Structure 1
Amino acid sequence: MNAYSSLDSSATLNQQIARGKQGAVIDQKTNTITYSGGSINLVALASPHGQPNMTWEIDGLVNPTIIVPSSANVQVTLVNTDWGYMHGFEVTSTAPPYGRMAMMSVNSDFLLMPLPERTTKSLTTAHYYTRSGQLHLSVGTYHYLCPVPGHAIQGMYGTLKVV
């Protein structure tokens, strides 16, 4: 099981997000992020403040399609920015729609176990829990989702393409 750690401030979180955007082409019109290079740090924010509830924010986009090269070393960092719910990050070849218990009906290709919610509603004093892992997938189309019951069915998922 992968251990979790925490970020001590919104400033530290913003630094992590900025590192994740390196090597990324962000297309707001198509809601797509295309990464290049041999080392990618994908930072997935779970239900961030200012975005619709039960969604992912990655590089400023909500539930984007993510494209990564198959040769890249992809580090996924889950950050739970939600002060009310636990969230995890799962990658599967099982396409939506998902039921209430999505984790029971998908074949998991990658999993970051759920994290506790952030410590406070205040954005300036919150500690954000994080968990990271190395993503190794073959060429193909996958889907990322939150495995916590009821979250994927509410829209907490997106597409991940390995090319």
Structure 2
Amino acid sequence: MKRTTKLAAVLTVGATTAIGVVIATGPVSAAAGNTGTGSTPNGAGGYSTMMGSGTSGRGGMMGDWTGAGSINMGSMMGRALANTSGSRMSTAQAAAESNAVPASASVDATRNRLTFTGNIVTLTLVVGTGEQNDYSFKVAGLTNPQIIVPAGARVTLRLINADADMAHGVLVTANSAADTSWMPMTTSTAAFSGSAIWALGEADSSGASTATTSFSATAPGSYTYLCPVPSHAQQGMHGAFTVR
């Protein structure tokens, strides 16, 4: 029998709101379908596997839809979380935040680096402003910069998702290979307690969704920040996070 791994992923929607979601990974049998059984990898009828592609009707939950365009997990999560409670801001505000330089930080555009010098760090990452690139973080006018904070700093991390058709999140992890994983939310953990906002729903007519978390950067070292939503890190949504 093929092994099925499940993750109970906590998707932080607002500062105090969370949703539990079960995500299946690895080979799984058909969820439905005329000929799908517990031992077959795909259903020949209605639904195929959670991860694979559909042969007719609907495709896999995390794969592509057949027949009527395609859909990815980020879009599905974006819609599912769009109407959950949480803070919102206008897209104009989100754009302004993406260019604002945080207090106690210096910008090195040549090296694409943002360096904090104080022990109180307030960092805002913005996604989806202008829709130039769905798979990047913007901060202080930089794209996916290296972020350097002092060891022992208390970091307040805010994520703003201004993307109108996709969920995004942020995870600071010690897994150096996390950006190569298709689904970091099953293969990587937070480097520090509180250093993750697993997913925020898409922006809508009420504005961009936002969430904030805080953590202490207690251990010096090289870390990675990335979007844990399936495939986003692989498509370039990651950067270096250095504690020194």
Q: TM-score by structure 1 length?
A: 0.85
The reply on whether 1:130 has 2:210 as its aligned counterpart is: yes
Q: Is residue 100–residue 139 contact of structure 2 (8 Å, CA) maintained in 1?
A: no
Task: State which structure, 1 or 2, has the greater radius of gyration over its C-alpha atoms.
Answer: 2
Range 57-66 or range 89-98, more displaced: 89-98
Q: What is the aligned counterpart of 1:119 among 204, 214, 223?
A: 204
Report 1:129-148 matches (<5 A). 129-137=209-217, 138-148=219-229
Aligned-pair CA distance for 1:152: 0.6
Cα distance in 2 for partners of 1:94, 1:157 equals: 12
Aligned-pair CA distance for 1:32: 0.3
- Match for 1:132: what amino acid? T
Q: Is residue 99–residue 141 contact of structure 2 (8 Å, CA) maintained in 1?
A: no
Report 1:67-146 matches (<5 A). 67-96=148-177, 97-109=179-191, 110-120=195-205, 127-137=207-217, 138-146=219-227
Q: Hey, what does 2:241 align to over in structure 1? A: 160
Cα distance in 1 for partners of 2:222, 2:141 equals: 22
Q: Is residue 80–residue 130 contact of structure 1 (8 Å, CA) maintained in 2?
A: yes
Q: Is residue 32–residue 66 contact of structure 1 (8 Å, CA) maintained in 2?
A: yes
- Match for 1:133: what amino acid? T
Cα distance in 1 for partners of 2:109, 2:216 equals: 26
Q: Is residue 89–residue 208 contact of structure 2 (8 Å, CA) maintained in 1?
A: yes
Cα distance in 1 for partners of 2:99, 2:133 equals: 21
Question: % of aligned pairs identical?
Answer: 30
Q: Which structure ranks higher in relative contact order (CA pairs < 8 Å, sequence separation ≥ 6)?
A: 1
- Match for 1:63: what amino acid? N
- Match for 1:81: what amino acid? A
With over 3 angstroms needed to count, the CA separation of the structure-2 counterparts of 1:79 and 1:8, relative to structure 1, is: closer
Report 1:7-46 matches (<5 A). 7-13=88-94, 16=97, 21-46=102-127
Cα distance in 2 for partners of 1:132, 1:8 equals: 13
Q: Is residue 7–residue 13 contact of structure 1 (8 Å, CA) maintained in 2?
A: no
Q: Hey, what does 2:146 align to over in structure 1? A: 65
Q: TM-score by structure 2 length?
A: 0.59
Q: Is residue 100–residue 141 contact of structure 2 (8 Å, CA) maintained in 1?
A: no
